[in-house]
Structure 1
Amino acid sequence: MILGKVSELIGNTPMLGIDVPDTNARLLLKIEKNNPGGSIKDRMARNMVLAALKSGRLKPGGVVVESSSGNTGIGLAMAAVEFGLQFIAVVDHHAAQDKIAVMKALGADVRFVAGNYREDEVAVVERQRMAAELATQIPGAVFMNQSDNAANAGGYSDFVRETIAQAHGTIGAYVGCVGTGGSMTGIARGLKVHDPETVTVGVEPAGSIVFGHPGYPYYQSGTGTPAGDTVGLVLDYSCIDLGVQVTDSQAFETARYVARNLALLVGGSTGGAIFKALELIHAGVLTGNVVVPIADGGEKYLHTVFNEQWLQERGLLDPNVGAQLDTWLGKTQWLESSSAPLQLSVA
């Protein structure tokens, strides 16, 4: 099939199955990094722009303004090109440099917030304030405000449809990261309409306040809600069965483990979701087909998550995580028996 627009490449991402030894579960990784912008956020970014254009809030030739740590910004930059719009991305120092470079390559106007922030401090509040202010100052500009935008959650209906088809209608659980809550809400709602018994698990960084824990700085990018910010209106707690936290070390070491053992580069927050999914599987909390989206790829974090010196300087290395993953995925038994460590299949 020959397609006519880059946006038509969004969706229909493949799924990788991983058997989890000594459990009644199978991990299904939906490879959302295969979207043209490299992340799951391509889906909702285009949906927010389409909704704004259809409602008349955004006019042809107008300006889209959004606060982003990178992935949503890349998706909006792509949509702006397709629909003949301008895009201004408001970012802070926490955004990965490779994401900023991609946005600029797509023609985005990238604006940095002012102020002195710790390296592990996310300046979401200032980003949103600045984005909202810019939208009032620029003629024809609209602040997308993904945290409170209903079209955010509404952008994941195709993800749900694809996942149900790939899993042949049987999904025991879904484990995903919670940032604005758009993907978690849209996907969890859809899966529960299909099967109310599907267990939905939201994963946030330790230090995030989404599930009521004390807030403190963290390094995971594009996920969680930092102290001082408020949880977005788009997040629907009623469709989340369990909210859990993952440390930076658990998340980043898992991403590195997946790269070295599956040859799959995943982002740091995705590493956290995989770690918690395996932990809950081995605790007997999750069974059956357990879906985890590869929200974005590790290619955007080669200078951080996959840089051992960067991790060491910040005290983020933890060899115990790899040892735990060896046990959970049966690699220890494989080394002893010389049989295949992991059973993989593509759906």
Structure 2
Amino acid sequence: MSRLIDCDARLSIKLELDNPGGSHKFRAASHIVERAIARGDMVPGQTTVIEKTGGNFGFGLLAACQKHGIEVALAIGPGFSQYKRDLLEGLGAELIGKAQLQAGATPREVIDYHLAHQHALGRHYYYTDQFNNPGNVDAHRRFTGVDLGRQLISAGHSRRLLFVGCAGTGASFTGVVRALRDLDFDVRAVMVEPEGCDTLAAQFVEHRLEGMCVGVTPPFLDWTLVNEVFKANLDDVLAAQRRFYCDQGFHVGNTTGACLAVAHQLREQATLEDRHIVTLGYDGGHWYPDLMQESRNAA
């Protein structure tokens, strides 16, 4: 169970960066892996997990698979940082389709090729498919959201909540809000997205808030759970990251900074005074070293 920190009397954050793999994505990765092993779909020593990701899900898969002796093969698009690619490879992931990707293939095309030719390649692949695997939502409903609810109850916080979150696949947002409602919390949910993006209209722009608005409509986002949508810009994100580090000593990632920036805006609204605000610390800021220069410039 990751820690719940009370920033003040009105705002709490659950530090999912405490998880193995360094993010909330370990929840889904480990749940998907454990279920596949239990079904016999994944056999330690024989199966290789295959996925298209160079982000937190990749690190979560490594942490979940390596303890079972299961190899991990990742197709990572050129848009991901070289730092992450090098680190994933250094930690034991096989980066597949490098030549294909350099020639213009998409990560999905690389996955499809390897699945179609797995016997010729001498492999037995299991595609975790995070954007289509229902275990993704199930993990956050059964674990992340339940953990959060129990921690809020233990801390004596109000059952009237304002949950501030974001969506890549939409699995954590949907799973956490549903879990809190299962536990009889009165939840008002706010989704955060970068300036220039409109998730509902499937309009996306390039931005630095990695982990949200990833260029596709979030397949698991239940829009009936979303009460409001707020925008975040990079300056506000960097300021929120610095503020949280000064106050709590944790350097959180970009999506967390965005949610904290919006949470600070919302806490000033008189109409929300009776709701306790809660968000997730999705990952750590160490994944995004190039933003440090931007942060210094913003300061």
- The question of a shared fold, defined as TM-score above 0.5 by the shorter chain, is answered with yes
Which of 251, 255, 278 aligns to 1:291? It is 278
- The question of 1:237 aligning with 2:223 is answered yes
TM-score normalised by structure 2 residue count: 0.85
> What residue in structure 1 maps to residue 15 of structure 2?
31
Q: Secondary structure at the match of 1:141?
A: strand
> What residue in structure 2 maps to residue 95 of structure 1?
80
Q: How does 1:210-221 map to 2 (within 5 A)?
A: 210-212=199-201, 214-221=203-210
Q: Which amino acid aligns with 1:146?
A: Q
Where in structure 1 are there 5+ consecutive unaligned residues?
1-11, 20-24, 118-124, 320-347
Kept after mapping to 2: 8 A contact 1:78/1:106? no
- The question of 1:203 aligning with 2:188 is answered no
Q: Which amino acid aligns with 1:76?
A: L
Where in structure 2 are there 5+ consecutive unaligned residues?
none
Q: Secondary structure at the match of 2:291?
A: coil
Q: How does 1:81-160 map to 2 (within 5 A)?
A: 81-111=66-96, 112=98, 114=101, 126-138=106-118, 139-156=123-140, 157-160=142-145
Coordinate RMSD, CA, aligned: 2.6
Identity of aligned residues (%): 24
How far residue 170 of structure 1 moved from its aligned partner, in angstroms, is 3.3
67 and 252 in structure 1: CA distance in 2 versus 1, 3 angstrom threshold: farther
Which is worse superposed, 91-100 or 259-268?
A: 91-100
285 and 126 in structure 1: CA distance in 2 versus 1, 3 angstrom threshold: farther
How far residue 150 of structure 1 moved from its aligned partner, in angstroms, is 0.4
- The question of 1:279 aligning with 2:265 is answered yes
TM-score normalised by structure 1 residue count: 0.74
Measured in 1, the distance between the counterparts of 2:108 and 2:209 equals 19
> What residue in structure 2 maps to residue 327 of structure 1?
none
Measured in 2, the distance between the counterparts of 1:67 and 1:252 equals 28
Kept after mapping to 2: 8 A contact 1:44/1:151? yes
Measured in 2, the distance between the counterparts of 1:126 and 1:256 equals 36
Residues 206-226 of structure 1: CA deviation (Å, up to 9, x unaligned):
344423263221122122132
Which of 167, 172, 181 aligns to 1:183? It is 172
64 and 36 in structure 1: CA distance in 2 versus 1, 3 angstrom threshold: same
Measured in 2, the distance between the counterparts of 1:219 and 1:41 equals 19
Residues 231-286 of structure 1: CA deviation (Å, up to 9, x unaligned):
24322222222233322332233223322443220001110010111112223454
Measured in 2, the distance between the counterparts of 1:135 and 1:255 equals 41
Q: Secondary structure at the match of 1:259?
A: helix
Kept after mapping to 1: 8 A contact 2:7/2:248? no
> What residue in structure 2 maps to residue 120 of structure 1?
none
- The question of 1:170 aligning with 2:158 is answered yes
Measured in 2, the distance between the counterparts of 1:290 and 1:56 equals 42
> What residue in structure 2 maps to residue 49 of structure 1?
33
> What residue in structure 2 maps to residue 339 of structure 1?
none
Measured in 2, the distance between the counterparts of 1:224 and 1:284 equals 29
Q: Secondary structure at the match of 2:10?
A: strand
212 and 152 in structure 1: CA distance in 2 versus 1, 3 angstrom threshold: same
Measured in 2, the distance between the counterparts of 1:18 and 1:236 equals 28
